[in-house]
Amino acid sequence: MKCIDKGFVLWLTGLPGSGKTTIASKVAEILRKRGYRVELLDGDWVRKTINPDAGFTREERNRHLYRVAWIARLLARNGVIVLCSFVSPYRDTRAKIREIISEEVPFIEVYVKCSLEEVIRRDPKGLYKKALRGEIKHMTGIDDPYEEPLNPEITVDSEHNSVEENASKIISYLEENNLIEKA
């Protein structure tokens, strides 16, 4: 196990169903094989465990995400690489998350780009179908906005590139910026 004094936070943002958690899981697997301590904080898991009361209004989402940011910061300052996989649809919220985390550790925003048409086609949890029928409110991309990042450190295209290609792009960025050792 490689011990690093300070970790960092990779924050994957994108539409629901864009592949954030799948890509984050692949990156975590690669990093763990290299001996790093890695924690993956995923939206579904955090909502089930740490924040079961979190709703989907803008205020509720913000409160939920700020809690996650503080947890990620705490882990990273103790030498853990933290991968956060959250829709986090609002630019101002992501800016506040960046502010919270980067006071102590590096923050890397990863935009998982995928068209609305493609995520609706994928619809792994059936949420878009329900939202389009009016059964779910505050669905990002349908009746709630997703504000694409303006200047993410990394953009990966989950519509046109494989999970492996996207994970490799993230790993290359981490190596080039001396956040992890080159393989």
- 94 with 61: CB under 8 angstroms? no
Choosing from 88, 158, 168, 172, the catalytic residue is 88
Whether 158 sits among the annotated catalytic residues: the reply is no
Torsion of CA 119, 122, 124, 129, to 10 degrees: 70
Q: What b-and-e string marks burial along 45-65, b requiring 16 or more CB atoms within 10 Å of the CB?
A: ebbeeebeebeeeeeebbebb
Kindly state the tokens that stand for 144. 């709630």
- 7 with 75: CB under 8 angstroms? yes
> In the Cβ-directed half-sphere of 6, how many Cα atoms lie within 13 Å?
13
Kindly state the tokens that stand for 116. 């609305």
In this structure, how many other beta carbons lie within 10 angstroms of the beta carbon of residue 155?
16
Torsion of CA 81, 33, 27, 101, to 10 degrees: 0
Catalytic residues: 88
